[in-house]
Amino acid sequence: MGTLQKVTIYLKMSIKGLVHYPSFITFGGSVKYFNSWLRHLEEGKSSVTDNMPWLTFGAIDFLKEKLNRDMSLFEYGSGGSTLFWSAHLRQVVSIEHEPLWYEKMVDEFSKRRIQNVEYILAEAEEDKMFETKSFENPDHYVSSDLLFKGKNFRNYVKQIDLFPDQSFDIIVVDGRARPSCIHHAFAKLNEKGYLVIDNSERDYYLAPFTFAKPDWKVWKFYGPVPYNYNFSETTIIQRA
């Protein structure tokens, strides 16, 4: 795809974003991150080669200002983000559901001699009651992805329950059965910890939960995403 076509797509997505998320932050992000967005679409670029989270650029910049080597992080979904977190934090726990991707990332950790990542494979499991469940219900552990029809992610989601309460400074939800992941994340988040939910423009991710002041602070970052033509929203929530 030529540069002019990419520019046209970016302008269309920026206008769409301003219609649905009218704010100076949305406009400013569209202007600020255009060159970064274009650069990350170059041939051969990927989140793994670049050690880059697959969140909105605005959310990445926000988090960069918060990270330090004393922090621990738990993430649902692995990849370039895992490489990024491991370079900035003391401890990373990452949960993956796809065996082939898991093996690829194990090789990456080995090649790069990364030793501060606890990497866990937790595949979807057969669910005889699948047809009675809804992917919008945090208690049902199922995904909207048709590839996983007839299966649940109960074991995947509950991997975080193996850790003591308030174990993590940051919890990232960017994997499967996200409402269920969010539900299980609360008790494991440190005081003043950050909960990061990607693709939160999908309303059902956050619909079951209330993040009312003064208990929570909420930041929403809608805009361009590396390696993707479509814009998205990343929501970051902090215990106040």
pLDDT by residue (tens digit) across 188-197? 999 999 999 9
Q: Mind listing the domains of the chain with CATH numbers?
A: 49-222+232-239 (3.40.50.150)
CA 80 to chain centre: 11
C-alpha angle with apex 73: 134 to 180, nearest 5 degrees? 10
What was the pLDDT predicted at 240? 80
What was the pLDDT predicted at 128? 97
Tens place of pLDDT for every residue, the chain, 240 residues? Answer: 788 899 999 999 999 989 988 888 888 889 999 999 999 999 999 999 999 999 999 999 999 999 999 999 999 999 999 999 999 999 999 999 999 999 999 999 999 999 999 999 999 999 999 999 999 999 999 999 999 999 999 999 999 999 999 999 999 999 999 999 999 999 999 999 999 999 999 999 999 999 988 889 999 999 999 999 999 999 999 988
Phi, psi of 165 (to 5 degrees): -60, 150
**What is the Cα–Cα distance from 94 to 78, expressed in whole angstroms?**
6
**What pTM does this model have?**
0.95
Short-list 219, 213, 206, CA closest to 25: 219
Rg over CA atoms, the chain? 18
pLDDT by residue (tens digit) across 25-73? 888 889 999 999 999 999 999 999 999 999 999 999 999 999 999 999 9
